[in-house]
Structure 1
Amino acid sequence: MKGRPPRWIPRAVVLVALLLASGCAMVGVRHIAHKDYTAQRRSDVLNTRALSDSTVQSLNVVALSRDQCAENFTRCTNTLLYSDGLDDERRLSALAELWLAFAMQSDRSRQGEAIGDIALDAYLQSARYAYAYLFYTARAPGERAFETRQSQVLDFYNYAAQRAVMSFFKLLPTLGTDWERAPVAGWNLLKPNSDVYLGSSERIPRELIPAEGLRFSGLRDVYRRDGFGSEFVAIGAHAADDGPWREPNYVPLTAALQFPGDTLQSVLDTRDVRVYAKNPYLDSTIALNGHTIPLAANFTAPYGIWLAQSGFAQESLRSLFGRGGLTRPRVLLMQPYNPNRLTVIMLHGLASSPEAWINVVNEVMGDEQLRRTYQVWEVYYPTNVPVAVNLMQIRKALDETLHHFDPSGHAVASNHIVLVGHSMGGVLARLLVSSSDDKLWGVIQERPNLSDEQRQKLRQRLAPYFQFEPMPQVTRAVFLAAPHRGTPVAQWTLARWVGSLIRLPLTLLEEGKNIVSATQGKNAESGTPARIPNSIDNLSNEDPFIKASSTLPIAPTVRYHTIVGLYKTKGPLTESDDGVVPYVSAHLDGADSELSVPSWHDVQETPQAIIELRRILRLHASLLHCLWQEGVSEANLERPECTADAH
């Protein structure tokens, strides 16, 4: 027909196309940016909500796609589980991620609500496949130590364990104490194995908070340990007010799920699961199925939540101005008591609280070596009362606390204690390691007409405040910006105005009035006792008590160090100050070391001061190790075999 091309032409076009196609490269190469490469290698369902590249490739091997898995999840997982072409590691790791993705999609619970059975079952399936990958494949975890995939699977396990443990925790109150096995979402929950202690003989928290999503303002660093298990903050009930000590009711807890079985198939078949709740201060590893593996931990989270919920700032100000709040010293344990760890006792300053040590405690206990060696106690005391009263009450509180935890006094925790005091807390710390002898009686203005019997009774009454010996348990002290000789700032108009607002506790007022009346008599004009000095009065460089106490000798068995702040230094060191405390007041002759830090009065929070405190604590521990291990007497701790490892 006219206009129609010959029949051979279309055939020729097809033939040419086939020839051209056969000559084209079927594989292309392109370069991607480093950030894209890293993102592709490390992305998974936890950080992008999309399946990892490794899981997608495993699906490709068994002729599946993400869309097919989304349409028929059961068929997808069964195909993965039973198809040839994948080794156990690829199969189990892909199943762990697929089940986790399904669990996260099914989990509609809000914060504080119970997880539905479908989602809980999926989380447990994910954790079990991850567990099987880690411990029941041909290679041990250590053989995959540098592989990204193992890190991903460990994250899958830890997150699935976190969600499951939160669900189990909500179930515990309904189970009571006499149970061994409880049905949950088609699984059998076996009775947990726990070594977590929350004080006051409590072992079951009243609240459990996942640490993974917590962020803190005010803390410079978060100290945690990577490893196996999910990190929590366990919160116990408030301690009974039956002594001056307070055991910690905010503690770290690391949870792990175990799926019993001797073989891979028995683990994949089991519907039993056991929770391990571990105290990371005691446990750095966990033993599972013949493997000893590092235990994950978050040491900052409990401390951060405790501080955030404490209300210390408001309470300390109410206490200062006599508006309620604290009336007696408390000894706050930052970790569960451990008789085999050395004790560091910290004392804050005027108008302050444990918040003065926010970063100090976190940085010290974030140090792995120091955490294994020390436990921290913080003395929280009312800062409105006179120094002599606080000294007596703090000493009593510490003595009662030490005796409560170690009646014999032989534990490591009760000996070679380190005192650390800032500002007024530094003054108190120095007096705790000093001997008064009879040097403070001159501060008392006795009435000239007192009889010998009256004078003796008066001295008996005042002895707890003005006559004391060093704490024998303390062998080292660190004083930070401490006004040992007082400060002229206490005489400034503003300071005197603030001092006039301070109100002393009623019990102290009554006791003080009786003492002042006995020593000074009645004011001739008003007929009222003379005014009782408060803490700001005591910190004046003109105060009789501070002047007399500054000359008291520190016990020869105590090594001590000073850290001072220098604010806008001009001229020689002896004329400098930290904005509040003059250098000449903070300086102590005979100190083992002295560090000057460019800082305002809150020098304890500076990185330089914290590094120095760490150094001192390492030195202290090293010398004691020499003492205990090498048989060197305390008098010879400066011998070379002791000092070689101390720095």
Structure 2
Amino acid sequence: MKGRHPIWIIRVVALAALLLAAGCDIVGVRHITPKEYATQRRSDVLSNQALSDSTVQTLNVVALSRDDCAANFPRCTNTILYTDGLDDERRLSALSELWLAYALQTDRNAKGQPASDQALDEYLQSARYAYAYLFFTARSPGERAFEMRQSQVLDFYNYAVQQAVEGFFKRLPELGTGWNSVPVAGWNVLRPSTDVYMGSSDYIPKELIPAEGLRFRGLRNIYRRDGFGSEFVAIGAMPSDTDQPWREPNYVPLTAVLEFPGDSLSSVLMTNDVRVYAKNPYLDGAITLDGQSIPLSANFTAPYGVWLARSGFARQSIRSLLGRGGLTKPEVLLMQPYDPNRLTVIMLHGLASSPEAWINVVNEVMGDAQLRRTYQVWEVYYPTNVPVAANLAQIRRAIDDTLHHFDPSGNAVASNHIVLIGHSMGGLIARLLVSSSDDKLWSVVPARPDLSDADKQKLRQRLAPYLQFSPMPQVTRAVFLAAPHRGTPVARWKLARWIGNLIRLPITLLEEGKGITDNMQGKDTMPGKPSRLPNSIDNLSDADPFIKAASTLPMSPDVRYHTIVGVYKPGVPLSDSDDGVVPYASAHLDGADSELAVPSWHDVQETPQAIIELRRILRLHAAALNCLQPEGTQRTPCLAPPLAHP
């Protein structure tokens, strides 16, 4: 029949097709690029919003697909949880990622609204499955140390903890105080355990910022410690007592951990209890969970960066220099919560400056793990318009009051073998803090020769706090950076003198100056126009009587000291060089343990070479005292003997 093929033709065609199919390769192979290799191994729901290859393979094993899970999520998760043929590691890691993907989708649908109970529950489910994978499967975390899958699950846990803790924190105001457990999103949240202190007896932050998403302009590096837990910046309330000279840090690092109580895998998966741990990474390098010591993650730069970004120091320092408001007296700013068992470094900035002078210095020095475990940093923030002698007296008083407040006995490690670091005018003040004046500064007082003995005595009493001082006994090492110990001719330039004439001194200092002027003139003299008080720019001149007399004062023999100088113009002999502001001849000190010349403008303290040198000096100081604390080892008491304070 037309259009019909004989049956034998159909059979021949079918046989040929069968033979051709049998001859085709069922499995093919191709080479992939390094980028594809990395993507395949490392991509997951956090990195590219797609399930990881390991989770997709787990779905394949139980005859599920991503679309199946999207269509019926409870059926999907129950199938993975109860189907035979999956080991616990594979089962739990896949469930952690699936719950995290579900939570992220819930958050995306909420379009920026606060986390709902549904999203909070999903993040906690993800964290619990990750927790169970890490601590309640056959192998310990250490046995999987080199496996990519464990790194992924740790990321799932840390991110889920971040989101859950943020959700808990936003609900704290409605929870009140005095509770031991509270129901939240179907979970029973146990009272947090914390050792994070933000000053003023405050353990509850007023603001909590995840550190993972922060990036900073102006800081060279971000110093972190990889590990378990989610990193935050905890921000406390501003201090109410403004009369005290010290300021405890209200921007501190916090590492959050969620624990799901249970002594077996089944009990952990069944519990609805969750405990929050808020750990201070300066004190805690690890946390014990399920009998294992687990290293804690930390971000040491983020609190410092947020504090600086919100400080307004740049505006304050100029206003303070000109006497147009801002700072009026020195403050001692603690960069970390006070620790009696860490050595103390005290930093003093220079003219028209602020703690911003130490932006990268503090971050880079304390980014060193050994130094971070060994030292704590205090920064002295002071008004740079007043005379050097007045600042010296006020700074000394502020430091003494701070030390006495935190350690009345003076026996703590923090109160002994202090290191002073000063830049520019701060270096000049730092040197005077470890020097003896005896009677060598009285020659700068232009008193009338015919003053009565009574007036001379009054004058001496008024000037003694500024002209008579002894070395700080707690300090045993100092570093001076670009310090004008013998002044600088720049202070005599027209521009400098013009700026100096714009400076207003504090009213209290002007009143004190008038009283001193009256004593210099004598009670029988007709009152006239009071003598002009020198300001800080006047004092920094190489022709200033005070600076010339102060340059001859001897330093304490108990203090080891170092200098770092800038060399602005290459090819000039060191003895004739300068940093654009301070001549080498003024910054140089005989008898220094070391001197480093750095190709730099006056802000030499920010150069990598100077920071490396500071790290070296601090290691040297701590090692000499048997105080160096390597990270990863058990903290031991510092063996530095307390100093014999007078």
Q: Could you tell me the TM-score, scaled by structure 2's length?
A: 0.96
Q: Distance in 1 between matches of 2:249 and 2:640?
A: 36
* 1:234 and 2:234 matched: yes
Deviation at 1:110, TM superposition (A): 7.7
Q: In 2 relative to 1, CA 197–473 (structure 1 residues): closer, same or farther, beyond 3 Å?
A: same
Query: Matched residue of 1:238: which SS?
Result: coil
Deviation at 1:43, TM superposition (A): 0.2
Q: In 2 relative to 1, CA 18–168 (structure 1 residues): closer, same or farther, beyond 3 Å?
A: same
Q: In 2 relative to 1, CA 262–480 (structure 1 residues): closer, same or farther, beyond 3 Å?
A: same
Partner of 2:144: 144
Q: Distance in 2 between matches of 1:607 and 1:110?
A: 46
Partner of 2:447: 446
Partner of 1:299: 300
Q: In 2 relative to 1, CA 290–437 (structure 1 residues): closer, same or farther, beyond 3 Å?
A: same
Deviation at 1:170, TM superposition (A): 1.2
Q: Distance in 2 between matches of 1:107 and 1:630?
A: 49
* 1:487 and 2:488 matched: yes
Partner of 2:169: 169
**What pairs up with 1:187-586 in 2 under 5 angstroms?**
187-239=187-239, 240-519=241-520, 527-586=528-587
Q: In 2 relative to 1, CA 629–54 (structure 1 residues): closer, same or farther, beyond 3 Å?
A: closer
* 1:609 and 2:610 matched: yes
Q: Distance in 2 between matches of 1:516 and 1:559?
A: 38
Q: Structure 2: which amino acid aligns with 1:600?
A: W
Q: Structure 2: which amino acid aligns with 1:261?
A: G
Query: Matched residue of 2:344: which SS?
Result: strand
Q: Structure 1: which amino acid aligns with 2:548?
A: K
Q: Distance in 2 between matches of 1:630 and 1:177?
A: 38
Q: Deviations over 1:348-383 (max 9, x none)?
A: 000000000000000111110001100000000000
Instruction: Could you tell me which runs of 5 or more consecutive residues in structure 2 were left unpaired when the two chains were aligned.
Output: 629-635
Q: Distance in 1 between matches of 2:452 and 2:116?
A: 82
Q: Distance in 2 between matches of 1:189 and 1:256?
A: 13
Q: Deviations over 1:38-79 (max 9, x none)?
A: 011000000100000000000000000011111111111011
Contact 2:451 2:521 in 1 (8 A): no
Q: In 2 relative to 1, CA 354–634 (structure 1 residues): closer, same or farther, beyond 3 Å?
A: closer
Q: Structure 1: which amino acid aligns with 2:39?
A: A
Q: Distance in 2 between matches of 1:362 and 1:529?
A: 46
Q: Structure 2: which amino acid aligns with 1:343?
A: T
More off after superposition, 316-325 vs 577-586: 316-325
Q: Deviations over 1:369-400 (max 9, x none)?
A: 00110000000000000000000000000000
Contact 1:109 1:116 in 2 (8 A): no
Q: Distance in 2 between matches of 1:626 and 1:166?
A: 38
Deviation at 1:24, TM superposition (A): 1.4
Q: Distance in 2 between matches of 1:165 and 1:2?
A: 79
Q: Distance in 1 between matches of 2:346 and 2:83?
A: 62
Q: Deviations over 1:392-431 (max 9, x none)?
A: 0000000000000000000000000000000000000000
Deviation at 1:23, TM superposition (A): 1.6
Deviation at 1:176, TM superposition (A): 2.2
Instruction: Could you tell me which runs of 5 or more consecutive residues in structure 1 were left unpaired when the two chains were aligned.
Output: 636-647
Q: Distance in 1 between matches of 2:186 and 2:301?
A: 36
Contact 1:447 1:518 in 2 (8 A): no
Partner of 1:643: none
Deviation at 1:571, TM superposition (A): 2.9
Deviation at 1:8, TM superposition (A): 1.6
Query: Matched residue of 1:542: which SS?
Result: coil
Q: Distance in 1 between matches of 2:638 and 2:334?
A: 31
After the TM superposition, which segments of 4 or more aligned residues of structure 1 sit over 3 Å from their partners? 108-113, 524-527, 626-635
Query: Matched residue of 2:358: which SS?
Result: helix
Partner of 2:35: 35
Q: Structure 1: which amino acid aligns with 2:399?
A: L
Q: Could you tell me the TM-score, scaled by structure 1's length?
A: 0.96
Q: In 2 relative to 1, CA 249–630 (structure 1 residues): closer, same or farther, beyond 3 Å?
A: closer
Q: Deviations over 1:241-272 (max 9, x none)?
A: 14100000000000000001111011011111
Q: Structure 1: which amino acid aligns with 2:181?
A: R
* 1:619 and 2:620 matched: yes
Query: Matched residue of 2:47: which SS?
Result: helix
* 1:600 and 2:595 matched: no
Contact 2:341 2:637 in 1 (8 A): no
Q: Distance in 1 between matches of 2:325 and 2:319?
A: 6
Deviation at 1:3, TM superposition (A): 5.0
Q: In 2 relative to 1, CA 607–58 (structure 1 residues): closer, same or farther, beyond 3 Å?
A: same
Contact 1:520 1:530 in 2 (8 A): no
Q: In 2 relative to 1, CA 630–185 (structure 1 residues): closer, same or farther, beyond 3 Å?
A: closer
Q: In 2 relative to 1, CA 141–631 (structure 1 residues): closer, same or farther, beyond 3 Å?
A: closer
Deviation at 1:171, TM superposition (A): 1.5
Query: Matched residue of 1:313: which SS?
Result: helix
Q: Structure 2: which amino acid aligns with 1:25?
A: D
Contact 1:445 1:520 in 2 (8 A): no
Deviation at 1:448, TM superposition (A): 1.9
Q: Distance in 2 between matches of 1:110 and 1:337?
A: 42
Q: Structure 1: which amino acid aligns with 2:4?
A: R
Contact 1:569 1:577 in 2 (8 A): no
More off after superposition, 315-324 vs 581-590: 315-324
Contact 2:374 2:627 in 1 (8 A): no
Contact 2:342 2:375 in 1 (8 A): yes
**What pairs up with 1:150-161 in 2 under 5 angstroms?**
150-161=150-161
Query: Matched residue of 1:281: which SS?
Result: coil
Contact 2:342 2:374 in 1 (8 A): yes
Q: Distance in 2 between matches of 1:631 and 1:113?
A: 53
Q: Structure 1: which amino acid aligns with 2:24?
A: C
Query: Matched residue of 2:60: which SS?
Result: helix
Q: Deviations over 1:193-218 (max 9, x none)?
A: 11111111000000000000000000
Deviation at 1:12, TM superposition (A): 1.4
Deviation at 1:150, TM superposition (A): 0.2
Identity of aligned residues (%): 77
Query: Matched residue of 2:533: which SS?
Result: coil
Query: Matched residue of 1:107: which SS?
Result: helix
Partner of 1:55: 55
Deviation at 1:630, TM superposition (A): 12
Q: In 2 relative to 1, CA 529–405 (structure 1 residues): closer, same or farther, beyond 3 Å?
A: same
Q: In 2 relative to 1, CA 477–630 (structure 1 residues): closer, same or farther, beyond 3 Å?
A: closer
Indicate the RMSD between aligned Cα atoms, in angstroms.
Answer: 1.9
Q: Distance in 2 between matches of 1:343 and 1:618?
A: 13
Contact 1:331 1:397 in 2 (8 A): yes
Q: In 2 relative to 1, CA 613–29 (structure 1 residues): closer, same or farther, beyond 3 Å?
A: same
Q: Deviations over 1:442-499 (max 9, x none)?
A: 0000012210111011101100000000000000000000000000000011111111
More off after superposition, 450-459 vs 465-474: 450-459
